Amino acid sequence: MKKAWLYSGLILSTGIVLAGCGNEKQAMDHDNMQGSGKPTVEVNVNVPAKTMEEDKVVFKASAVEQKKPVNLEDVTFEVWEAGKQDGAHQKFKATLKKTGSYQAEAKLAEGEYEGLYHINDKKGLHHMDKISFVVMDHSHEKEEASHEHGHDHETVDGLSVHYMGATKAKAGAELPVSFHVFLDGKPLKANVQVEVIETGIEKHTYVPLEKKGDAYSGKVTLTAPGQTTVRLHVENDQLHHHQDELITVAK
């Protein structure tokens, strides 16, 4: 989740692009100069770290004011191929799903993507920040999983991973999963997700985990009775680590 940078809605579009290159302190200073005080609308955005090519990328945004959901003026996601900002840009306008919650979907080819979200709230402020994600070819992922399965528990120097969750669940129930991920004794900053591999189900489900304190946590739903593999993926510029946890799913 990301908290938006805030800019005045009266700034020309050129000014918005320039403001996006500044830092958060500059954005805060700008609000103070306008005499607006501390902005009250908080915007959060969620984009999956990875999506299979046959699936749609789902972009989500939500807004609250004084802890209550509020509607926005408009929500748009702008994306392009990573490293090709001067190339073709695609824009996806989000629709209102319920009070304060918006969603856009996009069918994209395999590749790495980056971009921006643009959100105007009803107070005339513009919220903007960077996004990035990967669209993967499913057959490639299956080959990679098969190739690397024997290395799931291969150690990385200084890396320590500890699963904190149940190893038994009922079919159809949500299972909370949480992992401590440390490198050289310190919490590791990385993209962390779990891949759910269920008996008799060819399609794998990918669930991004959120960093909460010194752990990465989330919830998965297990539908097929039997042995389910919850495969942890930990990735950053220095490493790509897999680790399997077996979950017994009862009817």
**Cβ-based neighbours of 162, under 8 Å, separated by 6 or more:** 179, 180
Residue 228 near residue 222, CB atoms below 8 Å: yes
Q: How far is CA 141 from the centre of its chain?
A: 19
Question: What pLDDT, in 10s, does the model give residues 5-50?
Answer: 444 333 333 333 333 333 333 333 333 333 345 558 999 999 988 8
Taking CA 136 as the corner, what is the angle to CA 134 and CA 137, rounded to the nearest 5 degrees?
165
| Structure-token pair, residue 129 | 């920040």
- Cβ atoms within 10 Å of 48's Cβ, excluding its own: 17
**Cβ-based neighbours of 6, under 8 Å, separated by 6 or more:** 27, 28, 31, 39, 125, 126, 127
Question: What pLDDT, in 10s, does the model give residues 94-113?
Answer: 999 999 999 999 999 999 99
Quick one: pLDDT at residue 120? Answer: 95
Residue 89 near residue 114, CB atoms below 8 Å: no
Question: What pLDDT, in 10s, does the model give residues 177-223?
Answer: 999 998 888 888 999 999 999 988 888 999 999 998 889 999 999 88
C-alpha pair distances (Å), 113 with each of 81, 82, 150, 175, 219 = 5, 5, 30, 30, 26
Q: Which residue has the tokens 């190739």?
A: 147
pTM of the model: 0.46
Quick one: pLDDT at residue 212? Answer: 87
Smallest CA-to-CA distance from 109 within 145, 46, 60, 57 is with 57
Residue 76 near residue 118, CB atoms below 8 Å: yes
Residue 117 near residue 45, CB atoms below 8 Å: yes
Name 115's bridge partners: 79, 131
C-alpha pair distances (Å), 73 with each of 113, 117, 129, 134 = 26, 14, 17, 28
Quick one: pLDDT at residue 114? Answer: 94
| HSE of 164, CA atoms in CB hemisphere, 13 A | 12
d(CA 229, CA 248): 9
Choice between 76 and 149, residue whose per-residue pLDDT is larger: 76
